[in-house]
Amino acid sequence: MPIDPIALSRELIAFNTVNPPGQELACIRHLERILADAGLETSIQQFAPERANLVARIKGHGDRLPLCFTGHVDTVPLGNAPWRVDPFAGEIIDGKLYGRGSTDMKCGVAAFVAAVCNTADQLKGNGGVMLAITAGEEIGCEGAFEMARAGILGKAGALVVAEPTSNVAVVGHKGALWLKLITKGVTAHGSMPHLGINAAYKAARVIALLEKFEFNVAPHPHLGPPTLNVGTVHAGLNTNSVPDRAEIGLDIRSIPALPHDRIREQLAAELGDEVEIDTLVDVGAVWSDPATPWIRHVVKAAEDALGETFGAAPRTAPYFTDASVLTPALGNPPTIILGPGEAGKAHQTDEYCAVDLIRMATDIYARLAADWVR
């Protein structure tokens, strides 16, 4: 019996995979059973209690490398605002499938799993197909890094990332470098601040420097310039003490021409030895040449499905994806980001994905897979 991507989307949403803590293993096992029943070779990579990745393959013949589809099954927390629907029920209202992770990105995973399973007998041609389903994407591509370190993927000829794009073909995104900057001082009673060294004042001077920080690199023609944002500032334990430690959370979005090591070196030189720099998230930018024949083919397939064209300017995404890790791990194949979710609904209260876009994505993925193995 064919797999219905809408029913599968609802099944995946029913698993609470809020990260942290993640606990994706039960959801991964559910997908593994479905893929194994469809005849795919499957392998679960468990890397922590209740946390796991899944690799599934249809081995092809010939010398062509497989087409790889990827997506993650963890989600962000529900947030503080109340939901008007059950976030784990997958309720469908007015053509919209609601639930945490619907748009980002369980509906995308359901669409490519359904597409591959429903056409599995036709996908044993030249190259074959591989699915890489990850845990832990939301807090820095944990699962993808585990896959890459273990070397369990091999190489791929092309990569489709089913993150939310409303089924528009996207050819790249910026990288993310999240840093924690630490300043230290000497504590003292708040009534005698001259006896201490205030780490908060040091942090304030650092923030003033960050506001004027220059990357000294030309903007990417389509991704634009790199950006820097001070997202968090923490100092002190109580009002009547001099704080002896302050922390600054820094979110830097990079472009392909700007290695992250170079950014850290620039910051260290400008901020000085008294500022410690710890790395929290380090994932690179992704960019595929829009003139690559396969990229052009995917763009055309998406435009055909949507019934519109988007002109010559390539589309890019504002967020990062597991492609930051998986594209280099797979041998740097051309990479496209294309999924049924709507980027503006990701991480939102009452998150949803349009049912029509889920079915459309399933059709696009099936076409891409069939075309690949011909």
Compute the Cα dihedral for 199, 204, 205, 210 and give only its sign: positive
Intervals of CATH 3.30.70.360 along the chain: 175-283
Q: How far apart are the first and last CA of the chain?
A: 25
What pLDDT is stored for residue 18 in this prediction?
98
pTM of the model: 0.94
- Has 142 been annotated as catalytic? no
CATH code of domain 5-173+286-373: 3.40.630.10
- Has 11 been annotated as catalytic? no
Closest CA to 11 of 107, 117, 131: 107
Amino acid identity of residue 284, one-letter, is G
Q: What is the mean pLDDT of each run of 10 residues along the chain (374 residues)?
A: 96 98 98 98 98 97 94 97 98 98 98 98 95 97 98 97 97 98 98 98 98 96 97 97 98 97 97 97 97 96 93 89 98 98 96 98 98 95
Intervals of CATH 3.40.630.10 along the chain: 5-173+286-373
Q: What is the third-level CATH fold of 175-283?
A: Alpha-Beta Plaits (3.30.70)
Q: Which of 32, 104, 137, 342 is catalytic?
A: 137
* DSSP per-residue string spanning 299-349: HHHHHHHHT----SSPEEESS--THHHHHHHTTS--EEE--SS-GGGTT-T
Backbone dihedral region for residue 281 (phi beyond 0: left; psi -120 to 50: alpha; all else: beta): beta
- Which segments within 24-119 are labelled E, that is strand? 41-48, 51-59, 67-72, 92-93, 96-98
Q: Which of 74, 163, 342, 351 is catalytic?
A: 74
Question: Under DSSP, is residue 272 helix (H, G, I), strand (E, B) or coil?
Answer: coil
What pLDDT is stored for residue 1 in this prediction?
85
Percentages of the chain per state (helix, strand, coil), in multiples of 5:
35, 25, 40
